[in-house]
Amino acid sequence: MKQATIINIQRNIPKTWEECLARFLAARRREGAAERTLRGYKEIVRSFFTRYPTAWSATAPECIDEFLNQPGISPATYNNRLKNLRPFFDFAAREGAFSASPADGFKYRRGEAPRVVDHPLEDIKKILSVIGIDTFTRLRDTTLLLFSLDSGIRPSEALGLFPADIDTHLRRAAIRAAIAKARQGRTVFFSQPTADLLDRLLEVRPWDGSVPVFCTSSGDVWQTSRWTTQLRRYTIKAGLKRFSPYDLRHQFALQALRNGMDVFSLQRSMGHSTLSMTEKYLALADDDVQAAHEKASPVKDLFPAPKKRLGKI
């Protein structure tokens, strides 16, 4: 009887960063990563190696440090670069390209105070008056703006909805796990004016249910970047400085809290796995904090306000 032998199989180590990136993206796609997430990895990794073409070597940590600490970048940019580079280099190390991940040891920066997204209702009305509903494109844009503001849905999630996902009678939309950022499905709700516009949009569309609700005028998939550009044009035409699709999500969160929605319902509506994620959207203005303090201060109970006297009869 022959004795069994152990065959030493050499690992197929990626020889270039391009080869490693292709493998990394394929692996993340198999794990269910969203296309937007994959584009982020690709963009940052390519940008890094374009700036540091010799970084596929022992100099990688020094190059990463310089890339992250480039003069003038904000904490948000720093964190975004690290968020995309770290998984790539962790993967590269597991594939044998590095003995350890060159991105180890880099920590995220504490962010700046979040921008308070609080657009006056009059500004939103100005944008709506600029858009109108007299063509398919304008009806689509008006409906998408109100639907986003009404439900707090992410722009990419809204653009991934199909007619079957929306129930205008019950005024709710099902966010499928396949299009949700956290890959967890949920339900969002909207009001009757939004439902009326959705009904009108679905009625005038010449396409069947295989075409997304918010599509291009030719029935193609509409990208978030194009919606961002379109909304920016409307904003400028309305005489305003800044308004983005994500501002609608921030505005929903802030206004919902002001109008009495509890934070747990808000967390579920926005599709956050933790309350800490929801808190990032709740950069309340000073007036909100002061109004809440007036209601909640324990000192107020020590010195109750005097009752108003009735006037003489």
Mean pLDDT of the region 35-43: 90
Q: How confident is the model at residue 257 (pLDDT cuts 50, 70, 90)?
A: confident
Q: What percentage of residues in the chain have a pLDDT greater than 90?
A: 61
Residue with the two structure tokens 């599709």 = 271
d(CA 213, CA 162): 5
| pLDDT number for residue 24 | 97
Distance of CA 171 to the CA centre of its chain: 23
| pLDDT number for residue 233 | 96
List the structure tokens of 116.
């308070």
Is the Cβ–Cβ distance between 150 and 144 less than 8 Å? no
Q: For residue 174, report the phi and psi dihedrals to the nearest 5 degrees.
A: -95, 115
Mean pLDDT of the region 262-266: 85
**Average model confidence (pLDDT) for the chain?**
86
221 - beta bridge partners? Answer: 215
Q: At what angle do helices 192-204 and 136-151 cross, to 10 degrees?
A: 150
* pTM > 0.75: yes or no: no
Q: How confident is the model at residue 1 (pLDDT cuts 50, 70, 90)?
A: very low
| pLDDT number for residue 196 | 96
Q: How confident is the model at residue 298 (pLDDT cuts 50, 70, 90)?
A: low
Q: What percentage of residues in the chain have a pLDDT greater than 70?
A: 84
Q: How confident is the model at residue 270 (pLDDT cuts 50, 70, 90)?
A: confident
List the structure tokens of 180.
């949700």
Q: How confident is the model at residue 5 (pLDDT cuts 50, 70, 90)?
A: very low
List the structure tokens of 57.
């070597």
Name the more confident of 73 and 135.
135
Q: For residue 2, report the phi and psi dihedrals to the nearest 5 degrees.
A: -75, 145
* H or E segment to which residue 223 belongs: none
| pLDDT number for residue 308 | 57
pLDDT over 80 at 240, yes or no: yes
pLDDT over 50 at 6, yes or no: no
Pick from 34, 16, 36, 38: which is nearest to 25 by CA? 38
What is the chain's Cα-based Rg?
A: 25
Q: How confident is the model at residue 76 (pLDDT cuts 50, 70, 90)?
A: confident
| pLDDT number for residue 11 | 63
Lowest-pLDDT choice from 110-119, 153-162, 252-261, 265-274: 110-119
d(CA 249, CA 255): 10
Overall residue count recorded for the chain in this entry: 313
d(CA 270, CA 184): 11
Lowest-pLDDT choice from 146-155, 232-241, 252-261: 252-261
d(CA 82, CA 79): 5
Q: How confident is the model at residue 306 (pLDDT cuts 50, 70, 90)?
A: low
134 CB-near residues (< 8 Å, 6+ apart)? none
| pLDDT number for residue 51 | 95
| pLDDT number for residue 162 | 97
d(CA 25, CA 89): 12
Highest mean pLDDT among 68-77, 152-161, 249-258: 152-161
Mention the CATH class of domain 121-285: mainly alpha
Highest mean pLDDT among 172-186, 203-217, 241-255: 203-217
Distances (CA, A) of 264 to 66, 261, 274: 41, 8, 10
* H or E segment to which residue 189 belongs: strand 186-189
